[in-house]
């Protein structure tokens, strides 16, 4: 299982939200590049980056930081936030991003997702962000009304090979991942599933690995010191 430590960017700063609430933003690190290099030294090979400004407003203002991390950290970058058309997708790939995560546009423009999956295959992922089992969009502030399992099945039909699943109720809460919803997702979606939100301990990592997931994102738990990232990498297995 891949371990993807996370950097969320807002106004050029490394931050974390609590349950997706933009009114509860806390800066957790000073330098994005140095933070990414620490991830690499711990044995990670991927980093999950989110442009929160792009996710909420549609304008990716943190592109320079992302480009620096892709060029100088030694990590493969998975990036989400504000990727809403083919031009956005092409721009982030030109910046060196290894995998792009389509969020809100997967709900509003499934034809774009279909075309992206056909053109880029494994380099495209869809972020399914849920609250009470319903998909939320626009930086988690809008309820689409869609059931997350039905939406995952639709994404599989469209050709999406990777899903980043986030249960907003667990994100940033250090309460443990939403294991039951992840298990239900496994029953309907046969592609790669990356668990996001709630990881609070190295035991959580071991449990996710036992589930046979493709990856797990580690965010607040790293910054709070409740997860030993190097140990998490060892528990998860080979990262290349």
- pLDDT of 19-62, one tens digit each? 666 767 888 888 999 999 999 999 999 999 999 888 777 677 89
CATH number where 228 lies: 3.20.20.70
Q: Look up 204 and say whether it is catalytic.
A: no
What is the model's pLDDT at position 29?
87
Q: Residue 88 and residue 59: Cα distance in Å, rounded?
A: 10
What region does 59 belong to: left with phi over 0, alpha with psi -120 to 50, or beta?
beta
Spans of the chain below 50 pLDDT: none
First-residue to last-residue Cα distance in the chain: 10
Contact status, residue 200 vs residue 152, Cβ threshold 8 Å: no
The C-alpha angle with vertex 209 and arms to 165 and 19, in degrees rounded to 5, equals 35
What is the model's pLDDT at position 108?
93
Q: Residue 211 and residue 193: Cα distance in Å, rounded?
A: 11
Q: Look up 8 and say whether it is catalytic.
A: yes
Segment holding 110, helix H or strand E = helix 110-120
Q: Residue 178 and residue 85: Cα distance in Å, rounded?
A: 30
Q: Which domain holds residue 91?
A: 2-236
What is the model's pLDDT at position 138?
77
Enumerate residues 6+ apart whose C-beta is below 8 A from 174. 198, 200, 220, 221, 224, 226
Would you state the structure tokens that stand for residue 38, as one six-digit string?
Answer: 């620490």
Enumerate residues 6+ apart whose C-beta is below 8 A from 64. none
Q: Considering 51, 53, 88, 129, which one is annotated as catalytic?
A: 129
Q: Residue 176 and residue 179: Cα distance in Å, rounded?
A: 8
Q: Residue 109 and residue 8: Cα distance in Å, rounded?
A: 24
Task: State the total domains in the chain.
Answer: 1
DSSP state of 197: S
Contact status, residue 84 vs residue 118, Cβ threshold 8 Å: no
Q: Which residue has the tokens 């790669």?
A: 192
Q: Residue 108 and residue 21: Cα distance in Å, rounded?
A: 22
């Amino acid at each position: 299982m891949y371990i993807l430590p996370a950097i969320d960017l807002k106004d050029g700063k490394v931050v974390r939200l609590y349950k997706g609430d933009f009114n509860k933003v806390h800066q957790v690190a000073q330098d994005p590049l140095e933070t990414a290099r620490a991830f690499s030294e711990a044995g990670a090979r991927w980093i999950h980056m989110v442009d929160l400004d792009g996710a909420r407003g549609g304008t990716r203002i943190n592109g320079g930081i992302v480009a620096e991390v892709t060029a100088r950290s030694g990590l493969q970058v998975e990036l989400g936030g504000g990727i809403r058309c083919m031009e956005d997708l092409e721009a982030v790939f030109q910046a060196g991003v290894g995998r792009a995560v389509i969020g809100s546009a997967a709900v509003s423009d499934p034809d774009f997702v279909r075309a992206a999956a056909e053109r880029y295959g494994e380099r495209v992922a869809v972020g399914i962000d849920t609250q009470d089992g319903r998909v939320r969009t626009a930086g988690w502030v809008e309820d689409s009304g869609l059931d997350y399992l039905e939406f995952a099945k639709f994404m599989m039909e469209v050709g999406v090979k990777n899903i980043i699943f986030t249960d907003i109720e667990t994100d940033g809460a250090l309460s443990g991942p939403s294991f039951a919803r992840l298990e239900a997702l496994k029953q309907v979606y046969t592609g790669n599933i990356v668990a996001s939100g709630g990881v609070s301990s190295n035991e959580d990592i071991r449990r996710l690995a036992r589930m046979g997931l493709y990856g797990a994102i580690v965010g607040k738990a790293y910054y709070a010191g409740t997860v030993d990232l190097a140990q998490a990498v060892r528990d998860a297995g080979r990262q290349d």
